[in-house]
Amino acid sequence: MIRLALAASLIIGLAGCPARRSPCAPSLPAKLEIRDASGALELALKDSATQGTPRVYDLCDPAHHRVGSVSTEEDRVVVLDAAGGLRLRVHHDHGLDPVAWGPSGQRLRVHEDKNEWRVLKPDGVPLGAIAPAGDGATVFDPAGSLAATVKPRGADQVLAGPDGAVTRYVMPAASPVAAGVFALRGLALDEALGLFLLFPR
């Protein structure tokens, strides 16, 4: 009888507790969404329950599963996988190029001049470049050929290939240059997000 009473109390207690909401629940608004050409979600950035400094966000996949997190400070962005392992750490010392580190060492660096942002491997081999173009931006591949264009659409940025066909949406995003990182081949989406969050927007 005592065991039955304890079990009943436990069931009643659990029934009275609100279910813990998933950090990637569809009902939670996204701070940023990356969508493919058809509008299907690829990656979402949502506020984390973790508060304080640095600011922390959850990374959510199309199935609304948490696949990682991002912490941001003024000069540093850290991207972790779902288990807390390092994916990318980007640091920007004032006056120096931003440098990104991965789990195996330096991953890339970004060089800015007045005309463009160049994303480079540690040995200086380019991954691509992004340059302002009117109210949008132009993305170049490692050989300097046109890889994509970025155009604003309301509060969002629309990426298109050399043929003009839409390839991706970045929602919302004020800067077409920052959004251009999502057109660079050789970067996973979460790595591109790390650069996007550090770029002036």
Asked if 60 and 44 touch (Cβ cutoff 8 Å), the reply is yes
**According to the model, what pLDDT value does residue 7 have?**
42
Residues lower than pLDDT 70 in the chain = 1-21, 52, 95, 200-201
For residue 15, tell me if it sits in a domain.
no
CATH number at residue 154: 2.40.160
Q: Is residue 16 part of a domain?
A: no
| CB environment 43-65: b (16+ within 10 A), e (fewer) | bbbbebeeeeeeebbbbbbeebe
The answer to whether position 87 is within a domain reads yes
Whole-number pLDDT of residue 13: 44
Q: Is 10 contained in some domain?
A: no
Q: What is the DSSP string of the chain?
A: -HHHHHHHHHHHHHHHSPPPPPTT-TTSPPSEEEEETTS-EEEEEEE-S--SSSEEEEEE-TTS-EEEEEEEETTEEEEEETTS-EEEEEE--TTS--EEEETTEEEEEEEE-SS-EEEE-TTS-EEEEEEEETTEEEEE-TTS-EEEEEEEETTEEEEE-TTS-EEEEEES-S-HHHHGGGG-TT--HHHHHHHHHHS--
152 within a domain of the structure (yes/no): yes
Report the number of distinct structural domains present in the chain: 1
Which range marks the domain in which residue 120 is found?
A: 22-198
Does any domain span residue 13? no
Please tell me the predicted confidence (pLDDT) of residue 200: 59
Would you say residue 9 lies in a domain?
A: no
Residue 187 included in any domain: yes
Q: What does the block give as tokens for 54? A: 């640095």
How confident is the model over 115-153, as pLDDT tens digits?
Answer: 899 999 988 899 999 999 999 999 999 999 999 999 999
Whether pTM > 0.75 for this model: the answer is: yes
